[in-house]
Structure 1
Amino acid sequence: MMISHSLRFQLSLQPSLASKFDVKTRYKNHGIRPSASINVNQVSDHIGVDLRRSADYHPTIWDPKLIQSLTTTYTYELHGNRLDKLKEQVSMFLKSTKDVSILLKLIDSIQRSGVAYHFNEEIDYAFDLVSSFIPNGSGLSTTALWFRLLRQRGLFVSTDVFDEFKDENGNFLERLSDDLEGLLNLYESSFLGMCGEDDDIEEARDFSVKHLESFMLTRLDCDIVDMRNRVEDALSVPLHWRTPRLEARNFIDLCKVGDGINSSVILELATLDYNLVQSIHQEEVKELTKWWKNLGFREKLSFSRDRMVENYLWAMGIVWEPQYSKSRITLTKFICILTAIDDIFDIYGSLDELESFVIAVERWDLKAIDDLPQYMKICYLAMYNFGNETAYDVLRDHGTVVIESVKKEWERLCKSYLTEARWYYSGYQPSPNEYMENAWISVGGHGAIVHTCLLLGLFPINETSLDKFSGGSGPLYWACLITRLSNDIGTSQAEIARGDVPKSIHSYMIHNKVSEKEARDTASDIMNNSWKKLNETIIKGSCCSIVANLSLNMTRTALSIYQHGDGIGTSNGSTKDRLTLLIVEPISLY
């Protein structure tokens, strides 16, 4: 599907194509015959009630008292010396290992276990050796791992390296079916593919999946349970798509790290570091819980999602390292305020009220609050204060004035919400292309990453620099597209049930006259293609590596949150379990 990247709003008054989304259907029980455009306030006057929609979101599942009671025995004061000694040993391993096949496994273990941020210089040095390595004759496992690690680092290597494992017809050799380690690494490497590599990459994936699935069905040996766990995890979610923090927990819990003496040292370091970083995350959630209570949204905007802790999962997924505490806290606040505004536009506000809110955002002026209804005032002031405080923090910490960039992100976001609201109140059903032109902004990822970049001091943030990573060819664009499609796939059933404006799934159903399954398959295909585009912009592009990594992590977080449905709207299941692992339960050292 080709998607134009210009943001434009086209409002049509054509009749609705499906009655369940038609304005008449929404109000037929009240005996009203609305025109194509209807004002909720007019309807309210007619029937004598205030027709405010509700998504019936459940209350928060996180008791503030429980959050404040979180404690841990893992502190840097008590365990800092042991952490430093373990880091010295791992650093020595990295510097002294010259066998590339062993070095590749060492780098992979360090990265997957979440401690690579301690060894940036050592890993840079190791990649100097790895990048000059020619894997010919090294075996499938080493070759595939080499391919994946270099591409993850943003270095281009050709898929031709797999030719030695193919026959004269270009098919992978069947004798490789018994090489489980090689098949697993080949499978994982296939998710680092780019556009134009479909034949090689898809063939590698199909071949490895075929034999890995056969292994899971036929080999039930107790002595290979570790390999079965690894294969099961990979087939569920490939490594390239997993959030780093959850993967660290999973890797420590379920996998053996490396070989020989290195294994126990890295495992102890990863476990101790995980618990120490968790102690920082606990303190951040405690601080945010107080902020959220004082903000007053829970009482004043009771129709909105009360999801501060879940929103922290977004922030932790995007940037988890302990040194970025300020960015993580601020990003969580941004997402909390964004969520409330999203709910106002999505389910609660009348069109006149929403128009007034956007005008107030454009003015960015305290006096603008006078023109808003009471329930909007607190939300507008929270956004206004947050934006100005963020700009102040950036000026203080980095000496750069960014208030216009902050204001523009809120304005861009609210205008995208307004576009969807206009569609809803007119009964207009956008085409899939038209929807996606607006929806990659309305998902909120663009604003989240821009705010994070500002807080990290990545300047200048202006129209030119934004185009490099968020235009139609930038990593942030493709990351937002995947994030939006993940959101839509996870939330579509609930949104259809309450009659929201058609999102991507039901837009495909309506305009292409296909079943829900076919529409979901189409969305999945677009996501897979977007992953290739995202990989390509990172591997071949000139974008800042930090921006690329933030975009990639946001995409991974979205896939995780919406893997089993709406992980924010309904957060009792896997979202709660993951947050428990991330901020509540430490890993046993023994």
Structure 2
Amino acid sequence: MASMCTFSSPFLLCNSSISRTNIVACNKQTSTLQAQVKNVATIETTNRRSANYAPSLWSYDFVQSLSSKYKGDNYMARSRALKGVVRTMILEANGIENPLSLLNLVDDLQRLGISYHFLDEISNVLEKIYLNFYKSPEKWTNMDLNLRSLGFRLLRQHGYHIPQEIFKDFIDVNGNFKGDIISMLNLYEATYHSVEEESILDDAREFTTKYLKETLENIEDQNIALFISHALVFPLHWMVPRVETSWFIEVYPKKVGMNPTVLEFAKLDFNILQAVHQEDMKKASRWWKETCWEKFGFARDRLVENFMWTVAENYLPHFQTGRGVLTKVNAMITTIDDVYDVYGTLPELELFTNIVNSWDINAIDELPDYLKICFLACYNATNELSYNTLTNKGFFVHPYLKKAWQDLCNSYIIEAKWFNDGYTPTFNEFIENAYMSIGIAPIIRHAYLLTLTSVTEEALQHIERAESMIRNACLIVRLTNDMGTSSDELERGDIPKSIQCYMHESGATEVEARAYIKQFIIETWKKLNKERQEIGSEFSQEFVDCVINLPRMGHFMYTDGDKHGKPDMFKPYVFSLFVNPIQGVP
């Protein structure tokens, strides 16, 4: 796709007209503003806040220097050969005689990041296993806890409804669960696929968490200890797939029953995809340099971190165009968020919000230059994606995309007014606005459009069926963000976040408030799981995965700190995911 948001975009449409005269006039305006970016900080006399964000660790030259040998034909040929071997392995496995072995293989393929090559084969395998072992209670009789737990997790993940009562036989008179350590680990992972009002799974989560923590202190098998400690940091259901794959490839050789062919394919596939991602990031970096937004001294320069969000959403090779669009959307949201949170004055922000709502290009003369630039970037982005969709898929999506930016800015201005007034909202009042102001909803709406095979009015309206699923995904990102960043944001003078709102309303201590938010996140995951079960089949799996992966990214980015805001925290992951290939590939 052509550059979506550069200020010289040929698709900047003035007053909804695509006349050549208007395009040229708008291009002249954006070219002039682009030249003025360098002077924004020097001519500004208004007293403004500063967040003192750390500079980016990743220069343009560094990103452009990335390269990989795994784009070569020899590696692609070897990949195709290994893929064929693994496919045969799946097809020849006997799930009737040994369902545990086949379920473990499916689990390994998913965690190694190569299951996308075998979607049909895995679907057929799980259907057969479901019909033969999980469809009705009488089929559970001879299954041990380990088989029940692993099957429960994988089948729920793939849309099958398996009742929580499958675990009832393993609860003793004291309410404890009976099983060995591997069974407990698999049961622990299974409990994170629970929905509301599943008390057996709630009890199982509490019991297995305690059991695994206690076992970890005394266990002699360090390989098992490695898997337990990893699971206790993040359950698998909350893990960003690409981050999990990077870790699991390293530890898979220590797993009982590991397969060397599967491992070789996983390593090679990781490196081939890394080469694809490098090219994606280099393209995004060129766009970012052209915008000159990295020269905004008040905003976070986080192009690489924003690229990571898009890889978390969808890392698959065919989604390159989508990653390009979503990286730009993420980057613009980060900068505009800093405008509202830190740099802009309330009168400027109110005027900017009004212009976004009117979408009137002629009104931007009233804005300071830095806000002209912000508006034109969104304007160009929306017009270009609308143009490309119209020419390629025959449908005009401009109103749909425009509304995504309007909803976001309307939520931002509410928080700006709260700050200006010194107002602390109630907890519910805060989250009613904050689920939007976290900036995830516009990303999801763009992702939905990018994953549609056919764009129609009916298809665009159908996303409203996913509103609860989207809201819950956004809310988890919002709350994980607050858990990791609220202290820093308060220090630089931001509005109270969910933790402080709850403390203010309830009189709770910070420790109590954090415990409340942590449990609130778990309960919101249950709602998200239920929405995924109930309406997931109405949408493409690709879109549903995008939605679910965003709260996973929230956990990853904001647990124990702010990886998005503090580049040093994110640095190791840049090297492991985008710079250094997995070693040991023949």
TM range (shorter): 0.7 to 0.9
AA at the equivalent of 2:392: D
- Which residue is 1:78 aligned to? 74
AA at the equivalent of 2:122: I
Tell me how far apart the structure 2 counterparts of residues 461 and 313 of structure 1 sit (CA, whole Å): 31
Residue 477 of structure 1, aligned match among 467, 471, 480? 471
Tell me how far apart the structure 2 counterparts of residues 283 and 49 of structure 1 sit (CA, whole Å): 41
Percentage of identical aligned residues: 36
- The answer to whether residue 180 in structure 2 is matched with residue 186 in structure 1 is no
1:154-233 matches, within 5 Å, as 154-168=159-173, 170-173=175-178, 176=179, 179-197=180-198, 199-219=199-219, 221=220, 224-233=221-230
- The answer to whether residue 239 in structure 2 is matched with residue 245 in structure 1 is no
Whether the 8 Å CA contact 2:322–2:447 is kept in 1: the answer is yes
CA offset at residue 170 of structure 1?
A: 4.8
Whether the 8 Å CA contact 1:194–1:532 is kept in 2: the answer is yes
1:93-172 matches, within 5 Å, as 93-98=89-94, 99-134=98-133, 135-168=140-173, 170-172=175-177
Residue 374 of structure 1, aligned match among 355, 362, 369? 369
Residue 343 of structure 2, aligned match among 332, 348, 357? 348
Tell me how far apart the structure 2 counterparts of residues 103 and 461 of structure 1 sit (CA, whole Å): 42
1:244-283 matches, within 5 Å, as 244-256=241-253, 263-283=259-279
Tell me how far apart the structure 2 counterparts of residues 136 and 548 of structure 1 sit (CA, whole Å): 33
Whether the 8 Å CA contact 1:109–1:258 is kept in 2: the answer is no
- Once the two structures are superposed, what CA deviation does each residue of 1:265-318 show, in whole Å capped at 9, x if it has no partner? 11111100000000000011111111111101122x210000000111111111
| CA shift in 2, pair 1:142/1:326, >3 Å | same
Tell me how far apart the structure 1 counterparts of residues 129 and 363 of structure 2 sit (CA, whole Å): 58
Whether the 8 Å CA contact 1:100–1:133 is kept in 2: the answer is no
CA offset at residue 210 of structure 1?
A: 2.5
Tell me how far apart the structure 2 counterparts of residues 188 and 457 of structure 1 sit (CA, whole Å): 32
Tell me how far apart the structure 2 counterparts of residues 554 and 567 of structure 1 sit (CA, whole Å): 15
TM-score by length of 2: 0.87
AA at the equivalent of 2:228: V
Residue 436 of structure 2, aligned match among 435, 441, 446? 441
CA offset at residue 167 of structure 1?
A: 2.5
- Which residue is 1:27 aligned to? none
How many residue pairs match? The answer is: 529
Moved more, 375-384 or 541-550: 541-550
Whether the 8 Å CA contact 1:257–1:266 is kept in 2: the answer is no
1:156-555 matches, within 5 Å, as 156-168=161-173, 170-173=175-178, 176=179, 179-197=180-198, 199-219=199-219, 221=220, 224-256=221-253, 263-299=259-295, 301-457=296-452, 459-460=455-456, 464-470=461-467, 474-542=468-536, 543-544=538-539, 545-555=541-551
Whether the 8 Å CA contact 1:394–1:454 is kept in 2: the answer is no
Whether the 8 Å CA contact 2:353–2:410 is kept in 1: the answer is yes
AA at the equivalent of 1:355: E
Whether the 8 Å CA contact 1:405–1:461 is kept in 2: the answer is no
User: Residue 283 of structure 1 aligns to a residue in which SS?
Assistant: helix
Tell me how far apart the structure 1 counterparts of residues 531 and 560 of structure 2 sit (CA, whole Å): 28
Whether the 8 Å CA contact 1:257–1:267 is kept in 2: the answer is no
Moved more, 350-359 or 268-277: 350-359
User: Residue 385 of structure 2 aligns to a residue in which SS?
Assistant: helix
User: Residue 311 of structure 1 aligns to a residue in which SS?
Assistant: helix
CA offset at residue 366 of structure 1?
A: 2.3
- Once the two structures are superposed, what CA deviation does each residue of 1:91-125 show, in whole Å capped at 9, x if it has no partner? 11111112311110111011111011111111111
Tell me how far apart the structure 1 counterparts of residues 60 and 449 of structure 2 sit (CA, whole Å): 30
Tell me how far apart the structure 2 counterparts of residues 303 and 50 of structure 1 sit (CA, whole Å): 13
Whether the 8 Å CA contact 2:168–2:200 is kept in 1: the answer is no
- Which residue is 1:59 aligned to? 55
AA at the equivalent of 1:270: A
Whether the 8 Å CA contact 1:86–1:265 is kept in 2: the answer is yes
User: Residue 567 of structure 2 aligns to a residue in which SS?
Assistant: coil
Tell me how far apart the structure 2 counterparts of residues 194 and 289 of structure 1 sit (CA, whole Å): 41
AA at the equivalent of 1:367: N
CA offset at residue 76 of structure 1?
A: 4.7
Tell me how far apart the structure 2 counterparts of residues 76 and 196 of structure 1 sit (CA, whole Å): 52
Tell me how far apart the structure 1 counterparts of residues 75 and 483 of structure 2 sit (CA, whole Å): 43
User: Residue 55 of structure 1 aligns to a residue in which SS?
Assistant: coil
AA at the equivalent of 2:156: R
Tell me how far apart the structure 2 counterparts of residues 538 and 165 of structure 1 sit (CA, whole Å): 28
User: Residue 500 of structure 1 aligns to a residue in which SS?
Assistant: coil
Residue 560 of structure 1, aligned match among 556, 568, 580? 556
| CA shift in 2, pair 1:461/1:436, >3 Å | farther
Tell me how far apart the structure 1 counterparts of residues 273 and 426 of structure 2 sit (CA, whole Å): 45
Q: Which runs of 4+ in 1 moved over 3 A?
A: 168-171, 256-260, 458-464
Tell me how far apart the structure 2 counterparts of residues 345 and 362 of structure 1 sit (CA, whole Å): 16
* Runs of at least 5 residues in structure 1 that lack an aligned partner in the other structure: 1-47
Tell me how far apart the structure 1 counterparts of residues 389 and 510 of structure 2 sit (CA, whole Å): 46
Tell me how far apart the structure 1 counterparts of residues 194 and 234 of structure 2 sit (CA, whole Å): 16
| CA shift in 2, pair 1:257/1:274, >3 Å | farther
AA at the equivalent of 2:430: Y
User: Residue 74 of structure 1 aligns to a residue in which SS?
Assistant: helix
CA offset at residue 558 of structure 1?
A: 1.0
Moved more, 134-143 or 348-357: 134-143
Moved more, 336-345 or 210-219: 210-219
- Which residue is 1:8 aligned to? none
| CA shift in 2, pair 1:232/1:258, >3 Å | closer
CA offset at residue 249 of structure 1?
A: 0.8
Tell me how far apart the structure 1 counterparts of residues 512 and 305 of structure 2 sit (CA, whole Å): 31
Whether the 8 Å CA contact 2:447–2:543 is kept in 1: the answer is no
- Which residue is 1:36 aligned to? none
| CA shift in 2, pair 1:461/1:162, >3 Å | farther
AA at the equivalent of 1:68: Q
Whether the 8 Å CA contact 1:387–1:406 is kept in 2: the answer is yes
CA offset at residue 464 of structure 1?
A: 4.2
1:17-56 matches, within 5 Å, as 50-56=46-52
| CA shift in 2, pair 1:266/1:351, >3 Å | same
Whether the 8 Å CA contact 1:106–1:258 is kept in 2: the answer is no
CA offset at residue 461 of structure 1?
A: 6.5
CA offset at residue 206 of structure 1?
A: 2.3
CA offset at residue 65 of structure 1?
A: 1.3
AA at the equivalent of 1:489: M
Cα RMSD after superposing both structures: 1.7
User: Residue 229 of structure 1 aligns to a residue in which SS?
Assistant: helix
Moved more, 124-133 or 312-321: 124-133
AA at the equivalent of 2:213: E
Tell me how far apart the structure 2 counterparts of residues 426 and 493 of structure 1 sit (CA, whole Å): 20
Tell me how far apart the structure 2 counterparts of residues 394 and 49 of structure 1 sit (CA, whole Å): 42
AA at the equivalent of 2:374: C
AA at the equivalent of 1:280: V
User: Residue 541 of structure 1 aligns to a residue in which SS?
Assistant: helix
Whether the 8 Å CA contact 2:412–2:437 is kept in 1: the answer is yes
User: Residue 48 of structure 2 aligns to a residue in which SS?
Assistant: coil
Tell me how far apart the structure 2 counterparts of residues 460 and 502 of structure 1 sit (CA, whole Å): 41
Whether the 8 Å CA contact 2:223–2:254 is kept in 1: the answer is no
